[in-house]
Structure 1
Amino acid sequence: MGAGVPETTRQRILDAAAEMTTETGWASVTMSRIAQRCGVSRQTVYNDIGAKPALAKSLILRELEQFLAVVSASFDQEDDFVRAIRRATYAVLDRAQDNKLLHAVVSATHGADTELLPYLTSQSEGLLGYATEIIHEHIEKFDHGLSDRQADVAIETMVRVVLSHVMQPTGTPDQTADDIAWLMSRVLA
């Protein structure tokens, strides 16, 4: 948090859940342990967040918002559509490389603790819709020549591809960003 901005109980709860997930895995996260770590009652955790599925969703959505903030900043810094896509892709992949919570969720696929993974994969409709909506707002300033429907298809495809590379990188953020920008330049041609 920024200096002088008080941290809310909800933020402290989400921070504690993220820390515990990265330290010992999602399966070990309980409302009682979160309450103890935050110095609040278990009922406070339930009142601010809800049950564990709501905690999972809140945790993933908070991470998504942080990723989308770097996407928004990337689009705001460019006046060329393809360069903006490249910058945004790089920013997401670079952030993903060092994201401990994301690594804990993804590495769970190699073990038994996969309860958070569906929020990034099979139950990701909300994630895709939210990301697509945010990006669509940012591309309106560009003269990309796509209809709204074409832009939606292109954005959703890019989001899915980037998410795939977040989950299972096949190259460096630079290489992947170059590849996705090249692909988009071909679509626009």
Structure 2
Amino acid sequence: MRPSVRPVDPDAIREQILDAAKECVIELGFTSRLHAAIAQRAGLSRPTVYKYVGDQDAIFGALFQREITQFFVVLDPVLRGQARDLRVGFVDAIVFAVQYARAHPLLQKGLRDDPQVVLPWFTVQAKPFVELGANLLSPHFQRLFTPEQLAEVSPKAISEWAFRIIGSLIVTEGIVDTTQEQSLREFVSSLLSIAFIPAPDPELVRGAG
């Protein structure tokens, strides 16, 4: 009798490769030639790494997508635990996300040592992540909206706004110190205060002109 052959699980192999890739990037950086190191650490051949993930750019893209998906898994219970208050939920989501990112070893390694590789994922290559974030955040923000608010604004638009604020706070150093939770919370709350300023009365605007 021939020995049974265990079926290949492509998802498991891909995860094995990405686990090894994350360790290699943190150790060696984003600009190193990584396929050989990833293959060795994963216990696979280089052709297998190419087959299941792709070239180095594809590996980075897959890593970013996996890490951001895992982030939303962690964020989910934070948002579910919120009372029905849009502003509180929005601020908590921003604060949690920024603090999570600032403690994330892979992201911080890239921002510190290889920003030319990482920054495009927050700018010119950000669309897939913005869409992913909007899809995952929208149900939470929708739960926090009143029926009146839902009639006027899209939860996806709010989700994209949240993603853009998070990205800016992660990659851009500003004049306001947001490295501490309380100062970060106050800053985001102040942004919301500006956003919720009522529109000026058209008659007053015409009169001032």
Note if contact 1:20-1:28 (Cα within 8 Å) is conserved in structure 2: no
- Residue in 2 that maps onto 1:102: 107
TM-score between the two structures when normalised by the length of structure 1: 0.82
Tell me by how many angstroms 1:101 deviates. Answer: 0.5
For the pair 1:40 / 2:44, whether they are aligned, the reply is yes
One of 155, 158, 179 as aligned partner of 1:154: 158
- Residue in 1 that maps onto 2:189: 181
Tell me by how many angstroms 1:65 deviates. Answer: 0.9
Tell me by how many angstroms 1:124 deviates. Answer: 0.4
Query: What residue ranges of structure 2 are gaps of 5+ in the alignment?
Result: 1-10, 198-209
Partner Cα distance (1:70, 1:188) in 2: 28
TM-score between the two structures when normalised by the length of structure 2: 0.75
Deviations 1:152-182 (A, max 9, x none): 3333222111111112354123322332234
For the pair 1:77 / 2:63, whether they are aligned, the reply is no
Deviations 1:87-146 (A, max 9, x none): 212221221121111111211356xxx234312222101111111221112112123414
- Residue in 1 that maps onto 2:25: 21
For the pair 1:166 / 2:170, whether they are aligned, the reply is yes
- Residue in 2 that maps onto 1:3: none
CA RMSD of aligned residues (A): 2.3
Residues 109 and 147 (structure 1), Cα distance of their counterparts in 2 relative to 1, 3 Å cut: farther
Give the residue type in structure 2 aligned to 1:41: S
Note if contact 1:70-1:92 (Cα within 8 Å) is conserved in structure 2: no
One of 144, 167, 187 as aligned partner of 1:142: 144
How many residues are paired up?
Answer: 180
Partner Cα distance (1:143, 1:26) in 2: 41
Note if contact 1:132-1:156 (Cα within 8 Å) is conserved in structure 2: yes
Note if contact 1:82-1:185 (Cα within 8 Å) is conserved in structure 2: no
Residues 71 and 184 (structure 1), Cα distance of their counterparts in 2 relative to 1, 3 Å cut: farther
Note if contact 2:87-2:192 (Cα within 8 Å) is conserved in structure 1: yes
Give the percent of matched residue pairs that are identical in Structure 1 and Structure 2. Answer: 24
Deviations 1:16-75 (A, max 9, x none): 211221212111142121101111111211122122221111000011112222332221
- Residue in 2 that maps onto 1:4: none
Residue correspondence of structure 1 range 34-73 to structure 2 within 5 A: 34-73=38-77
Note if contact 1:106-1:167 (Cα within 8 Å) is conserved in structure 2: yes
Return the index of the structure with the highest Cα Rg: 2
Point out which structure has higher relative CO (alpha carbons under 8 A, 6+ apart). Answer: 1
Partner-residue secondary structure (3-state), 1:78: coil
Query: What residue ranges of structure 1 are gaps of 5+ in the alignment?
Result: 1-6
Runs of 4+ in 1 over 6 A off after TM superposition: none
For the pair 1:91 / 2:90, whether they are aligned, the reply is no
